Amino acid sequence: MRKLSKIIPVILTMMMLIVAMLPAFSNAAGIDPSTINGTEISPDGVNRITNFGNQIVTILSTVASVISVIVLIVIGIKYMMGSAEEKAEYKKTMMPYIVGAAVVFMASTIAGILYSFFTSQAG
């Protein structure tokens, strides 16, 4: 369970970054985002794809934030109820949790900044 709780935030963060930067990388590679498989897509279709990607990022960010808060509550309750040995153990696990939670809360902001940077460079 401990490994899984470390792997899931990393995977979610990577997925958010990929989804956010995919249009910029496709444009930088010379791929016209209005065509897929040689068929034209209306600007409305491109906007729908972009909106869908934004919805996915929002949902993933919200779920990760809720999970982070729930884990913080559980760790806090265990810390308050634990013995001196258990409190020392929880203090050791608290720093990686805080770093992970900060990454989860800032991931969508970082992805948005990178997306804006790459779209302004490509255009």
Q: What is the pLDDT of residues 84-113, one digit of tens each?
A: 888 888 888 888 888 888 887 787 777 778
Predicted local confidence at residue 1, as pLDDT: 62
The list of the chain residues with pLDDT below 50 reads none
Predicted local confidence at residue 42, as pLDDT: 61
Smallest Cα–Cα separation from 109: which of 61, 66, 70?
61
Predicted local confidence at residue 28, as pLDDT: 52
Is the separation of the CB atoms in 108 and 58 below 8 Å? yes
**Could you give the number of structural domains in the chain?**
1
Predicted local confidence at residue 5, as pLDDT: 75
pLDDT over 90, % of the chain = 0
Is the separation of the CB atoms in 107 and 61 below 8 Å? yes
Predicted local confidence at residue 12, as pLDDT: 75
Smallest Cα–Cα separation from 67: which of 16, 12, 111, 20?
12
Which residue shows structure tokens 């913080």? 72
CA atoms of 58 and 108, how far apart (whole Å): 8
Q: Is the pTM of this model over 0.85?
A: no
Predicted local confidence at residue 30, as pLDDT: 56
Its domain, for residue 25, covers 2-122
- Residues 6 or more apart whose Cβ sits within 8 Å of residue 88: none
Q: End-to-end CA distance of the chain, in Å?
A: 44
CA atoms of 100 and 94, how far apart (whole Å): 10
